[in-house]
Amino acid sequence: MSLKESNIDNYIPKIPKIIDCRIEKTLNVIGGKWSFYVIRELFDGIKRFGELQRQINGVSPKALTDTLRHLEVQGVLEREAFATVPVTVQYKLTPKGEDLHQILIEMKLWAAKWA
Amino acid sequence: MSLKESNIDNYIPKIPKIIDCRIEKTLNVIGGKWSFYVIRELFDGIKRFGELQRQINGVSPKALTDTLRHLEVQGVLEREAFATVPVTVQYKLTPKGEDLHQILIEMKLWAAKWA
């Protein structure tokens, strides 16, 4: 899929000059708790809807659909549909989404120490 | 307040031998989105309920009460009550809670780059 111009912000990060207190911005982009699990699964590479549903324990199809749509709108992931029968839909992280990796790594480190 | 024996796990981290994929554990301890804001406020130091409510935009008293209770049960913060009139209640992070700092720093860095 070619890179649409409107998506360029999901590929090229800003150079931060001032680190302010805007964890709000990150939390709004991520959305709810399912997003963390979707993002974690997609660090492994491109996945289809069914794969994500199997790998994320307890997520309903509706919650997964809503989460994927939210993350797509936020530019964290991209949805690709192929005209197979039945249609194949797969999801992959944008660079903006890939860059959430360090947050999840810190969550794992914390769990290893305290949970 | 003296350190109760039952709270010792909130003061002494484990030495992680294996870093596994348990972001679930961290997310369960943190709970919902308000927790991130409470934790951020308490990085500045001990705070009272009213201070937290003023500083966390849009949180209701019920949501703040539930969040503080959840984080107390999880050992992320400690509640101290003083027999003043009216009673004074304040909250502070445990070392287990302080150690969530790096996760929030990574959220700020990501926001500075992408949001």
Tokens representing B9 are 């796990």
**A83 inside 8 A of chain B by CB:** no
Report the gap between the CA of A71 and the closest CA in chain B (Å).
Answer: 13
Structure confidence by residue, pLDDT tens digits, B47-64: 999 999 999 999 999 999
Q: Report CB contact under 8 Å: A110, B104.
A: no
Domain boundaries, chain A: 25-114
ipTM of the complex in this document: 0.83
Classify B23-114 by CATH class.
Answer: mainly alpha
- By DSSP bridging, strand B88-93 and strand B47-48 are antiparallel
Among B9, B33, B103, beta carbon nearest to A107: B103
CATH of region A25-114: 1.10.10.10
Q: Do A29 and B103 touch (CB under 8 A)?
A: no
- pLDDT by residue (tens digit) across A91-114? 999 999 999 999 999 999 999 999
B70 close to B56: Cβ distance less than 8 angstroms: no
